[in-house]
Amino acid sequence: MKRIIYILILFLFFSNCSDSCDINTDIPFLEKYEGTVWLKSNPEQVLYIRFINSSDTPLEYWIRNLDCFNYRLEKLYGDNCLTINLEDTLEFRYCRNIDATDYINIIKIEISDIVLSLKNEHYEDELLVSTEYLNYDKSKEDVDKLPLCD
């Protein structure tokens, strides 16, 4: 009898665990990181990024210019679009054609804990010409209170 009770308790334990372990935690990047602020700071530049849960305007940023900040809302339109919006990875492309040359920038953002890694690849006519890597730190700055330039 004790053995049957023991088996029953084990069965209940494992069935409860499997139910709670099946929760789908895949949240799109923009939903997961909406409102988070990231800082890139060095002697030459201070840049804040904040994510917005919108595929047309996925982020906004503030760049220090002496004693004020220039603000920009990143808008994707035309051939510019989000290509990846996974839990910890965001990727978008900027495409333009100038004088019969196709220029493409692919920006990939990945977040791990309190570090945002950005990779920016520049292509000309499908040939990779440069790659830039930047890291941002998570910030608690209230970017809505930054002094904006006129």
Query: pLDDT tens for residues 30-81?
Result: 999 999 999 998 888 899 999 999 989 999 999 999 899 999 999 888 788 8
Residues 103/95, Cβ–Cβ less than 8 Å? yes
Query: pLDDT tens for residues 91-135?
Result: 999 988 899 999 999 999 999 989 999 999 999 999 999 999 999
- CA 16, chain centre distance (Å): 34
Q: What domains sit in the chain, N to C, each tagged with a CATH number?
A: 25-139 (2.40.128)
In this prediction, residue 105 carries a pLDDT of: 94
In this prediction, residue 5 carries a pLDDT of: 54
In this prediction, residue 78 carries a pLDDT of: 79
Alpha helices in the chain (DSSP H): 2-21, 29-32
